[in-house]
């Protein structure tokens, strides 16, 4: 009987491990030093990329107290919400959707899949990630599990230290960088029931896609978009658990967040 019970528990564990691609014990593994933790967040500073229109501005930090003079070190900062590694909340492009402080924790943690499209963007900075690219990835890696967070590695992080190269603006002020297509976004929402998407560029939509269809599809379905995600090349295509911790701006349309990728050793 005992063996029979053990078999059931083992079966349930295996289905958690491989069926849903979620390793329930990953936090214990982190604490015991048995998991790799990768920080997918760029440090905030005045060189960080931001959406370069209107009232958007660069990150500013100033010291308001220092230890020598004031016996304490302290600073203050100002930033647009959509600067550096950040989350677009569902209310960014759609009304009656949750603001950044209202996104539930359960939506901010989950299995991540990392899709490498660097070969495509080398040839075409206006590349948009398509539904057939998803199916190609799934042929090699299995179907994207329900509740996943999809991260697109376009290789754009190579340009991070040069804002001009990163936004890649032409003489008509049109930017050129890769993004998701609206078909891919709709497929991920409707057929794969993902929690959200992320990318290593300024936007989920491509730089020259001025209609923001991907934002409307994701936000309209109550989903988030992570932008300017760092160090995606460190990660395998699957087996990663993601933790996203956004700043809690009441009613905010998004904001800076720490993003950690956890991977069993």
Which is nearest to 183 in space by CA: 175, 192, 174? Answer: 192
The window from 88-96, 106-114, 135-143, 177-185 that contacts Zn ion (CB under 5 A) reads 88-96
Which sign, positive or negative, has the C-alpha torsion 237, 242, 247, 251?
positive
- Considering only 29, 41, 80, 82, the residue that binds Zn ion (CB under 5 A) is 82
Backbone angles phi, psi at 62, to 5 degrees: -140, 150
Tell me how many degrees the CA angle 108-111-114 measures, rounded to the nearest 5.
105
Tell me whether residue 16 or residue 44 sits nearer to Zn ion (CB atom).
44
- Least separation in angstroms between CB 101 and Zn ion: 16
- Least separation in angstroms between CB 89 and Zn ion: 9
Tell me whether residue 82 or residue 238 sits nearer to Zn ion (CB atom).
82
Which residues in the 93-152 window bind Zn ion by CB under 5 A?
A: none
**If binding means CB under 5 A, how many residues of this protein chain bind Zn ion?**
3
Which residues in the 156-195 window bind Zn ion by CB under 5 A?
A: none
- CB neighbour class for 128 (10 Å; exposed up to 12, middle 13-18, buried from 19): buried
- Considering only 29, 88, 133, 205, the residue that binds Zn ion (CB under 5 A) is 88
Which is nearest to 110 in space by CA: 252, 222, 239, 208? Answer: 239
- Least separation in angstroms between CB 82 and Zn ion: 4
In angstroms, the CA 188 to CA 251 distance is 27
Contacting positions for Zn ion (CB under 5 A):
82, 88, 227
């Amino acid at each position: 009987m005992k063996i029979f019970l053990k078999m059931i528990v083992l079966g349930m564990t295996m289905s958690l491990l491989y069926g849903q691609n979620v390793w329930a014990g990953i936090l214990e593994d982190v604490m015991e030093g048995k998991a790799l933790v990768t920080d997918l967040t760029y440090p905030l500073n005045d060189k960080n990329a931001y959406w370069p229109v209107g009232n958007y501005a660069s990150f500013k930090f100033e010291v308001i107290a220092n230890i020598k003079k004031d016996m304490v070190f302290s600073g203050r900062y100002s930033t647009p919400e959509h600067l550096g590694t950040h989350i677009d909340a569902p209310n960014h492009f759609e009304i009656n959707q949750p603001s950044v402080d209202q996104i539930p924790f359960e939506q901010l943690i989950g299995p991540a899949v990392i899709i490498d499209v660097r070969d495509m963007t080398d040839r075409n900075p206006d590349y948009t990630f398509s539904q057939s690219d998803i199916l190609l990835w799934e042929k090699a890696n299995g179907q994207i599990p329900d509740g996943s967070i999809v991260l697109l590695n376009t290789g754009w992080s190579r340009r991070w230290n040069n804002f001009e190269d990163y936004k890649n603006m032409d003489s008509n002020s049109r930017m050129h960088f890769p993004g998701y297509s609206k078909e891919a976004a709709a497929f991920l929402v409707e057929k794969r029931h993902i929690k959200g998407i992320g990318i290593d560029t300024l936007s989920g939509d491509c730089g020259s896609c001025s209609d923001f269809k991907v934002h409307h599809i994701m936000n309209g379905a109550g989903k988030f978009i992570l932008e300017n995600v760092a160090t995606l090349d460190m990660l395998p295509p699957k087996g990663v658990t993601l933790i996203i911790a956004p700043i809690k701006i009441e009613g905010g349309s998004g904001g800076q967040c720490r993003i950690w990728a956890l991977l069993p050793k």
